[in-house]
Amino acid sequence: MIWINGYLNYRIKDLYRQSGRESSLDVIINDDNENPLTLLDKISETGFQPPKLSGLDAYLEEQRKENILSIWQKFELYVKEDPQKLLRNCHPKKYPDCNCQLLAKKLFLKDPPETLAQIHRELQNLGLSIPDQTLRSHCKKKCLPLLQKILEDLGYSKEEES
Amino acid sequence: MNNKEKQPLQIPLGIEAHNLAGKFATEQVNTEKSKQVYLNTLAVYAVHRYLKWLGIETDLSQSDCWNPILRNRWNVADLVIPDIGKLECCPVLPGETTISVPLGITEVLIGYLAVQFRENLDQVQLLGFAKTTVAGVLEISQLRSLDEFIDAISPKQVNLADWFEGIFDEVWLPIEALLNNQQLAFNPRGVRLRNVFKPDDRDKKRGNQEIIERFKEITVGLLANSQQLNLVVSIRKEENQELGCRFQVYPMNMGEYLPVGLKLKVILESGEAEKKVEAGETKESLKIRLTELPGKPITVQVHLDNDFVTEKFIL
């Protein structure tokens, strides 16, 4: 097992060394021997022209979603008011103070926002002995999905993301 | 680095990369932020493609920059490599020789990959790797080769022989930290604690060799049902050169019961043996012990539902 891992490690390194010289838009991206398709073909086929770095600002300004500002404003207001107490009721069993509203305010509404490590230190200083892992996992697995659902309910559309 | 390795690696950026970057960017409320998100997304996507092509799995959905709220409020360009950690993909604009790395919401565990942009956004170059920043700044000329990056993301094994030398990775905490935490936390059956780590009868028979005992916090289980547990590893030199090991799983709050169906598995790397124990209704800990010659690789897994956590050790 060890030597196989070692071998694979070197093989991987070899592969990427070669690639430095070889990758380009002419790389064939399908398995069809008779009609090879290169990345360049794909780009030109769809008429897609990536924006230039210097033109990026104008390009993005043109594309900006119309109602996006109002969605973020509604979201901030929702977090502050938490009208259905959904956020305040979302907390690890033994730590009601470490609820989603408190975390969301610190992580997203404060300027500059606080990191999880900072928040953990503050809670400790307040005498809340929540383990760091519990805080992180609560934030990631409970708060973020809840906040994202709220954002979607306020009009944010997720669409395809992968 | 030799010259061959110094040749920068080009990664093409196709329509799918630009579509994603465009979608994420146009959710932002001003142009400066949109541009930051656009370039961050391209940088992360390029590294994701590169790793995919090397056969290394990444999880974009777990990356902060793939979360609409996090990327809106933070300057994030992170990429999660499951079981290994988190990588920051830092965009470098033409002419930049240093880049300042933004503070992330969660710490970066693996390091930073610098991604060079140029006027044409049809491709980027991977410039190199750094494990840490100097006061939040990366010096392009000081970057390490991509070789070192690949070493850094190769799965880590804990060499238990190091423990006898007093060398521990920071995630493996002294057992006293666990006991101290417990005394602070609410603990309905606190009395039991004092007995948990006492050598049991089998230990007593084997003389007075020093026992080294460390623990690591692990999280296993799917979403709402995920559980935080402590994996405790105790080792001791035995007679005839062998190493005695004990692997134990405890709930985060000692004295509580483990989730029903939780399994602890110890697999000898050669596949020659596997030990497994499972928690029933009122189990406070799971334990597997074994005695082997030093140098053997073993894998310890904790399973719950369809999820599991893996820790690899060299005895």
Q: Residue-wise over B59-89: b if at least 16 C-beta within 10 A, else e?
A: ebeebbbbbbbbbbbbebbbbbbeebbbbbb
Chain centroid to CA B21: how far? 27
Q: Strand B123-130's sheet: what is its strand order? A: B9-12, B123-130, B111-116, B85-92, B78-81
Residue type, B95: G
A11 to chain B, any CB pair closer than 8 A? The answer is no
Judged by CB atoms closer than 8 Å, whether chains meet at B31 and A116 is answered as: no
In the prediction, which pLDDT does B178 show? 78
As given in the structure block, the two tokens for residue B55 are: 């056969």
Pairing of strands B85-92, B111-116: parallel
Pairwise pLDDT comparison (B205 vs B161), residue with the higher score: B161
B19 pLDDT higher than 90: yes
Cβ of residue A25 closer than 8 Å to a chain B Cβ: yes
Average pLDDT over residues A30-46: 56
Q: Cβ of A134 under 8 Å from any chain B Cβ? A: yes
* Residues B92-149 pLDDT 10s: 999 999 999 887 777 767 889 999 999 999 999 999 999 888 888 999 999 988 888 8
List the 140-199 stretch of B: residues with Cβ below 8 A of A: 146-147, 150-151, 154, 181, 184-186
pLDDT at B191: 36
> What is the value of pTM for the model shown?
0.62
**How far is the CA of A89 from the CAs of A92, A143, A146, B140, in angstroms?**
9, 11, 11, 47
Q: Would you call B95 an interface residue with chain A, using a CB distance cutoff of 8 Å?
A: no
Which of B34, B60, B269 lies at the smallest CB-CB distance from A162? B60
d(CA B131, CA B129): 7
Helix (H) or strand (E) holding B196: helix B193-196
Assess whether the previous peptide bond of B188 is cis (omega < 30° from 0): no
User: Closest chain A residue to B49 measured between Cα atoms?
Assistant: A162
What is the nearest CA distance from B280 to chain A, expressed in angstroms?
23
Q: Which residue of A has its CA nearest to B178?
A: A131
For B224-259, give the DSSP string: GG-EEEEEEEEEEE-STT-EEEEEEEEESSTTSPPP
CA distance B277 to B301: 11
Q: Do B228 and A2 touch (CB under 8 A)?
A: no
B20 near B45, Cβ under 8 Å?
yes
> Which chain B residues contact residue A46 at CB under 8 A?
15
Between CA B126 and CA B53 the distance in angstroms is 14
Q: What is the reported pLDDT for B179?
A: 74
Within the 28-47 window of chain B, which residues sit less than 8 Å (CB to CB) from chain A?
28-29, 31, 34-35, 38
For the packed helices A144-153 and A68-81, what is the interaxial angle rounded to 10 degrees? 130
Whether residue A37 is predicted with pLDDT greater than 80 in this model: the reply is no
Residues A69-112 pLDDT 10s:
899 999 999 999 999 999 999 999 889 999 999 999 999 999 88
ipTM of the assembly?
0.71
Q: Average of pLDDT values for B268-293?
A: 84
Query: Between chains, do B270 and A1 touch, taking CB under 8 Å as contact?
Result: yes
pLDDT, greater one: B146 or A32: B146
Shortest Cα–Cα distance, A122 to chain B (Å): 15
Q: Hey, which residues does B95 pair with through a beta bridge?
A: none
Residue count (chain B):
315
Which residue type sits at B183?
Q
Secondary structure percentages of chain A, helix, strand, coil, to 5 = 60, 0, 40
Residues 6+ apart with CB under 8 A from A66: none
> pLDDT digit string (tens) for B186-245?
444 443 444 344 555 455 445 557 889 999 988 887 666 778 899 999 999 888 888 999
Q: What value does the mean pLDDT take over residues B251-263?
A: 88
Q: Which of A5-19, A118-132, B270-284 has the lowest mean pLDDT?
A: A5-19
Confidence check: pLDDT of A21 > 60: no
Give me chain A's average pLDDT, please: 81
Q: Which of B240, B221, B217, B241 is nearest to B230 (CA)?
A: B217
pLDDT > 50? residue B3: no
Percentage with pLDDT > 90 across chain B: 45
Among candidates B15, B29, B122 on the partner chain, residue whose Cβ is nearest the Cβ of A69: B29
What pLDDT was estimated at residue A128? 86
Q: State the Cα–Cα distance between residues B145 and B129, nearest whole angstrom.
A: 6
| B55 has pLDDT over 60 | yes
Put simply, the answer to whether B25 touches A116 (Cβ < 8 Å) is: no
Coil, strand or helix at B147: helix
Asked whether the predicted pLDDT for residue B36 surpasses 70, the reply is yes
Q: How far is the C-alpha of B122 from the C-alpha of B7, rounded, in Å?
A: 19
Q: What's the pLDDT score for residue B46?
A: 97
The mean pLDDT value of chain B amounts to 84
Three-class secondary structure of residue B219 per DSSP: strand
- Per-residue model confidence (pLDDT) at position B215: 92
Environment class of residue B90 by beta-carbon count within 10 Å: exposed (0-12), middle (13-18) or buried (19+)?
Answer: buried
What type of residue sits at position B75? N
Size of interface A-B (CB pairs under 8 A): 157
Mutate to test the interface with B, among A53, A54, A132 (most CBs of B within 10 A): A53
How many other C-beta atoms lie within 10 A of the C-beta of residue B95? 5
pLDDT in tens, A116-141: 889 999 999 988 888 888 898 899 89
Q: How far is CA A106 from CA A80, A103, B69, in A?
A: 11, 5, 13
Distance (Å, rounded) from C-alpha B81 to C-alpha B56? 8
Of A48, A50, A151, the CB nearest to B68: A151
Structure tokens at B64: 């902060």
pLDDT at B186 (0 to 100): 44
Q: Is the pLDDT of residue B162 over 50?
A: yes
Give residue B20's pLDDT band: very low, low, confident or very high (50, 70, 90).
very high
Comparing B60 with A32, the larger pLDDT belongs to B60
Interface of B with A in 257-276 (CB under 8 A): 269-270
Distance, first Cα to last Cα, chain B: 33
